[in-house]
Amino acid sequence: MAEVPAEVNNIEETTQHHSPRERLKHGNAEASTNNTEMRPHYSKLDQHQDVETSDASEKLKRMEGAFRTILECVNEDPDREGLVRTPARAAKAMMFFTKGYEDTLASAVSNGVFHEEHNDMVIVKGINMFSLCEHHLVPFYGTVSVAYLPSNKVLGLSKLARIVEVFSRRLQLQERLTREIATGIMESIQPSGVAVVIEASHMCMVMRGVEKPGSKTVTSTMLGVFRDDPRTRHEFLHLITNSLSSGGGGM
């Protein structure tokens, strides 16, 4: 990180934020327009960064306040030693768990689309996924299996995991997450078809006793040939279930 202009330091002191540097670079530009009155006089680039700085720190400060209120409401003492920094830590953690809002499909697949004659099914199984259920703000997590039938374009394999990341690091429903990953792949490389299957455990169900520990919710989205052609769909389902039950090697 380059030297911080003196003006930025002043603002940091007055707002007393503890935001990590890397968040500043990815600040939400849309929301930052409220802060125009705080801008001192310096170059446009510095101004932009400064507005993002104060915007991100303002959000963290408000979240810290909210987490402190939560601690009080569960009859905890937010000032006891173990909890003094908890609101700040929880705020930063929540920002991380929802960082997908600041990410885009385009940046996730940038430099990862290749023109290729390869038109056979591509499958990536077992992509780890961690998300937050939008009804309870409690984690659900599991694995994502993705397949597509290319149409002269392929995606770098790591990009599939990046697409999962963009959409899972938001408040989600498993059904919507499944669909967003599938349509994201469709948009990126226009394949003949896409299939996405997610197996996940929902802590909001497990911890409240609604669901047994170890049970999984399975959702799937089939687009293009995976929806229209039963043989393609069966081939995909066979390949992913075979390897799941036999502990791998099905491909």
Minimum distance of Zn ion from residue 204's CB (angstroms): 3
Is the CB of 186 or the CB of 203 nearer to Zn ion? 203
* 3 state SS of 23: helix
Specify whether the backbone of 180 is left (phi greater than 0), alpha (psi in -120 to 50) or beta: alpha
Is the CB of 105 or the CB of 206 nearer to Zn ion? 206
**Looking at 48, 136, 153, 176, which residue binds Zn ion (CB under 5 A)?**
136
Q: Does 204 bind Zn ion (CB under 5 A)?
A: yes
Measured over the CA atoms of residue 49, residue 51, residue 53 and residue 59, the dihedral's sign is negative
Q: Does 133 bind Zn ion (CB under 5 A)?
A: yes
Which residues, at least 6 apart from 205, have a Cβ–Cβ distance to it below 8 Å?
Answer: 211
Q: Which of residues 167-196 bind Zn ion (CB under 5 A)?
A: none
Minimum distance of Zn ion from residue 203's CB (angstroms): 8
Minimum distance of Zn ion from residue 212's CB (angstroms): 16
Q: Does 39 bind Zn ion (CB under 5 A)?
A: no
* 3 state SS of 6: helix
Buried b (16+ CB within 10 A) or exposed e, 193-227: bbbbbbbbbbbbbbeeeebeeeeeeebbbbbbbbe
Minimum distance of Zn ion from residue 53's CB (angstroms): 34
Is the CB of 204 or the CB of 244 nearer to Zn ion? 204
Q: Does 135 bind Zn ion (CB under 5 A)?
A: yes
Minimum distance of Zn ion from residue 202's CB (angstroms): 6
Q: What is the DSSP letter of 105?
A: H
Is the CB of 53 or the CB of 174 nearer to Zn ion? 174
Give the number of residues in contact with Zn ion, rule: CB under 5 A: 4
Tokens of 169: 């690091």
Q: Does 208 bind Zn ion (CB under 5 A)?
A: no
* CA-based nearest residue to 160, from 172, 170, 174, 146: 146
Q: Please give the residue ranges that form the binding site for Zn ion (CB under 5 A).
A: 133, 135-136, 204
